[in-house]
Structure 1
């Protein structure tokens, strides 16, 4: 079973509101329909130059059984999705990689150093987890991403632009790309996202993006970051997509980081 990589860094022009429709089926990105057998996919992105997103890490769980992404938020902490850690016994973490398996260095971490939100459920609510890592020094290729401040907790970020990043396919017909890619996306209003998925999946602790033009995630690397252009703050963790498929133009769902600042602080001591 594979997990999603949300790759990204290309500016798009405009984003339209998703029309009201009956509630759709949300699925973890690892289970999104896809053509053929692929590990991940992102369209209309572009290769990240070295050091573009130094906070992203690759996560190879259970000796390669599944692959996710995560984000460095401190010298000893990585943030990712709970549906990535849920069945994990251990993980090999790749730091500073442009090519997926060509990291600056790696660390092996056991299950005992993974903290999964206790209220994670089948509706992908509270889809957030922490991984305690050996101390890493920061430099141009390995660095942390800023968490939002407490002043941001009531900001919907609707209309804001953000970048998603990860490893995966670049189009329907390509083979697996091992190189890190980026794509720029626009955050949408939660009400428009809720019109499609319904309120069980889209809660106040969800953030959604517009995926017009097929700029979306697919089976490959879940747990990856959604980072604001303004202030380099992580506001989302890749969580779910539409059961209609990767390029259906439906909203993509992320865990809203501002809803978990207290939980992150209580476990890591990190806050702004």
Structure 2
């Protein structure tokens, strides 16, 4: 049942199992992003030697990006797009493209492809990235009264590039986003028959609005005042389609803060 419903949002991973649907990235029925609206958004052109795929990521400092393990597992290199709205326009003002070799990719050592457990990865940029109006890091979550919030029922934004409907066959060149409520964990488990763990966070996908195939690794962000907090990294959805209303699942960032800090310090 798990394999029938679960489709990791990346063509490379889906092709590994005949029960999973081969897919490409997109935000379904998303709104067009404005310049500087999501300055933490990274685009990732991931190379596996003789082929490549597209994923998303989140800038969290001048040197580091968070993305999904299933995007980076086995990757030879990745070209990181920062400050981009139109990824097909290399001359876009304020856009940067940075090549990162395999040595700069850190995949969680306990990532399990079959269950998408520990679906998180870090990318260490080889250069210091200066912040601008178009490029700026998202904040990592902070404790409230000594504990991390669950973020249940708050509205959060997910963003990425790609097709804008299940019927579309081409990747969108422009950045899109959706804003939807975070679904209570207990309700998400009912949809996914226990396939989600407490290290995952779910987003409601009503009205056909959702993240989808290949938006993998991209940000789920809760905005409070002028601060943007990265609370999730796009992980998986259902092979039945992205407009059917099944919850989208993200890696819960609060569950991996120690892991993130450990590697950031080790590579400082």
- Alignment TM-score, normalising by the size of structure 2: 0.85
Residue 31 (structure 2) aligns with: 46
2:102 and 2:191 map into 1 onto residues whose CA distance is 35
- Of 231, 238, 241 in structure 2, the residue corresponding to residue 242 of structure 1 is 238
Shift of 1:159: 0.3
> Which of the pair has the greater relative contact order for Cα pairs under 8 Å at 6+ separation?
1
- Segments of structure 2 that go 5 or more residues without pairing to the other structure are 16-20
1:41 and 1:75 map into 2 onto residues whose CA distance is 27
1:237 and 1:258 map into 2 onto residues whose CA distance is 11
Aligned residues: 246
Aligned ranges 1:78-117 → 2 under 5 Å: 78-102=65-89, 104-117=95-108
- Of 5, 29, 39 in structure 1, the residue corresponding to residue 9 of structure 2 is 29
- Of 221, 245, 254 in structure 1, the residue corresponding to residue 250 of structure 2 is 254
1:66 aligns to 2:53 (yes or no): yes
Residue 219 (structure 1) aligns with: 213
Shift of 1:38: 6.6
- Of 182, 196, 211 in structure 1, the residue corresponding to residue 191 of structure 2 is 196
- Alignment TM-score, normalising by the size of structure 1: 0.83
Shift of 1:97: 0.8
Aligned ranges 1:92-241 → 2 under 5 Å: 92-102=79-89, 104-121=95-112, 122-133=114-125, 134-151=127-144, 154-174=148-168, 175-199=170-194, 201-230=195-224, 231-241=227-237
Shift of 1:111: 1.1
- Segments of structure 1 that go 5 or more residues without pairing to the other structure are 1-21
1:29–1:217: 8 Å Cα contact kept in structure 2?
no
